[in-house]
């Protein structure tokens, strides 16, 4: 079993979607992962702990990731992917229907994230 510490820079606060993706990567990893920012440390075994920790990172831009296990570079890559700035938004038009015959509303443009 290998151990390493990696550091990533977070420029923007992560969205809930990014935090849940990060949680899934951490839960799927068979080793152990601990996140540290300055004096705060979390072993995110529950989503609520990770969300609380990530929402307190407003002033902390450097996140240290302590990893123990195998395939460390692969999991670091997945974690960095989750922590990238939010994906660019694309414009999508939605039509909302009550049923197949009657249109309730034709709504203009909404922003929704794209997955690159």
Q: Any residues with CB less than 8 A from the CB of 64 and at least 6 apart, and which?
A: 5, 6, 7, 35, 36, 37
Q: Using alpha carbons, list the distances in angstroms from residue 81 to 45, 100, 116.
A: 20, 40, 11
Q: Using alpha carbons, list the distances in angstroms from residue 75 to 12, 18, 92.
A: 21, 15, 33
Residue-level pLDDT at 90: 36
CATH number at 2-82: 3.30.1340.10
Residue-level pLDDT at 38: 85
Please give the Cα distance from 1 to 32 (Å, whole number).
10
| pLDDT per residue as tens digits for the range 4-58 | 999 988 888 888 888 999 999 999 999 999 999 888 899 988 999 999 998 887 7
Of the pLDDT bands very low, low, confident and very high (cuts 50, 70, 90), residue 78 is very high
Please give the Cα distance from 64 to 35 (Å, whole number).
6
| pLDDT per residue as tens digits for the range 85-103 | 765 433 444 455 555 555 5
Residue-level pLDDT at 86: 60
Residue-range domain boundaries for the chain? 2-82
């Amino acid at each position: 079993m290998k151990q390493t510490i990696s550091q990533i820079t977070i420029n923007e606060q992560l969205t809930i979607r990014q935090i849940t993706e990060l949680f899934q990567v951490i839960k799927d990893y068979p080793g152990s992962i601990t996140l540290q920012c300055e004096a705060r440390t979390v072993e995110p075994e529950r989503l609520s702990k990770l969300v609380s920790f990530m929402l307190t990172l407003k002033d902390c831009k450097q996140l240290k990731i302590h990893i123990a296990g195998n395939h460390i570079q692969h999991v670091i890559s997945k974690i960095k992917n989750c922590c990238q700035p939010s994906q660019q938004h694309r414009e999508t038009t939605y039509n909302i229907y009550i049923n197949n015959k009657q249109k309730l509303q034709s709504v203009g443009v909404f922003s929704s994230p794209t997955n690159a």
